[in-house]
Structure 1
């Protein structure tokens, strides 16, 4: 999920994708380009690859879909109903749907937002199911002075009202873990421990956690052990480099090859979505390299 700068600001600045991509205009690919393309079509299949729309919003969605398919990505994250037809046109899944949340700070931990959230999610859950998708994102919201116990109790009350509908339609509500140290000050679901306790109290397979590797490295570290110990509560993963939220290569501290192997060893069958902000002007090249790193 985005930083304070990100999703709100970046979605206002969509421009044509071809310039950003630096796509060759020649019809004849070089030998190197043909080799890269061939390799991109031969992913190992141990990780299901997705990419978060907002990180690449300077590229129009059609172009992002076309280029993503070329490099072995089979889904796009964080798109709502208006964009689903574009994904379907290109044969891509919507790995993590959005559009029912109010925002990142007004969430299920505060009863004053329950009426709006229950209405929004009650309308969106059947739409997600009808489109053939499964995951719908949700948020705890900010503490605003609430204790952990108050936050858990309030979230349970709000989410319990939606669980029968989610179960009926086989839709999973997925709460994202966000760091409160750097990007999302005061966010309540800021550790795996807090999210897992909420999942235990809800006791439904239709509620899972979105384990954002970037955010949890910042707030708690010990990523691989945490994944191994809590994988049954995790329904989705996001990536980004630490520090900086940029490329996941050797310029940052996380060992994404080891992390992907740990995820694969848990038997996880869902999606891992790239959610980094590329510094490289050729954004698709950075995305391709990220997929290569994660394709264990």
Structure 2
């Protein structure tokens, strides 16, 4: 599956409000059987677990919420306002809200998008706060020939217009780090160094980075050291297996148990969200195993 296209498509649908609430569950026979045997797993309490909605889009949100709670997950990632009531119904947090962004490529690094972005985020920030949530995703956008300095300058200008509102409502704008080598060609915020410099220039606790472990392993590696050195600028984490963006088990190259220990040792109290695309037909079983690996 082309993860880039899939995620862009899902986000586009959410932004447009095209949320399907009454679709078949999409669970396989094996998953339905699993539902009858798995009891609620007891978590160790060191990691707050979430799961990215778009990676399990073949399962309707209601079912995903029910099964996630059994596994020990307490939040769903990348939900827009139309989906928040379903998560609330099941007592789950919306760990990373979306719906204010234009897309992944048209972001704050280009002044021509500032007017629409400022309008959309100005509307969304109070909505996030009113719903009782905290994190709202944003993107740098693609370079399109811009230097690093131009990108930083433009992002600061656009985001500074929103920081006071975010601070007022206790909402954190979180910019995602995406790899530009494989999945998101030309994306500007493609290294921790670039994102941290932007955070330093903004100088607000209401702007943080989404450290996507999969993406940063591809573009820079040295994951644990990077987390240790830059954790004060990180507000959220995503996982996925490298290469391929699939399960985070022994089929890929990262030691997620060690990475989770490093995250816990920084004192991080936010969410770690599973954002892998399961190869296993029993998607819920893959999700359960990922949580077991990460629940250190």
Q: Scaled by the length of structure 1, what TM-score is found?
A: 0.93
Question: What is the match of residue 119 of structure 1?
Answer: 119
Question: What is the match of residue 17 of structure 1?
Answer: 25
Contact 1:21–1:284 (Cα < 8 Å) also in 2: no
For 1:196-211, list aligned pairs within 5 A: 196-211=196-211
1:42 equivalenced with 2:50 (yes/no)? no
Contact 2:8–2:103 (Cα < 8 Å) also in 1: no
1:195 equivalenced with 2:195 (yes/no)? yes
Question: What is the match of residue 282 of structure 1?
Answer: 282
Contact 1:135–1:172 (Cα < 8 Å) also in 2: yes
Structure 1's 274 and 255: CA in aligned 2 closer, same or farther, altered over 3 A?
same
Structure 1 residue 3, shift from structure 2 partner: 3.3
**Could you list the runs of 5+ residues in structure 2 that have no partner in the other structure?**
14-18
1:134 equivalenced with 2:134 (yes/no)? yes
**Could you list the runs of 5+ residues in structure 1 that have no partner in the other structure?**
none
Question: What is the match of residue 16 of structure 2?
Answer: none
In the TM superposition, structure 1's runs of 4+ consecutive aligned residues that sit over 3 Å from their partners are 8-15, 18-27
Structure 1 residue 20, shift from structure 2 partner: 3.2
Structure 1 residue 8, shift from structure 2 partner: 3.5
Structure 1 residue 154, shift from structure 2 partner: 0.2
Count of equivalent residues: 287
Structure 1 residue 269, shift from structure 2 partner: 0.2
Task: Report which stretch shifted further, 5-14 or 44-53.
Answer: 5-14
Q: Scaled by the length of structure 2, what TM-score is found?
A: 0.93
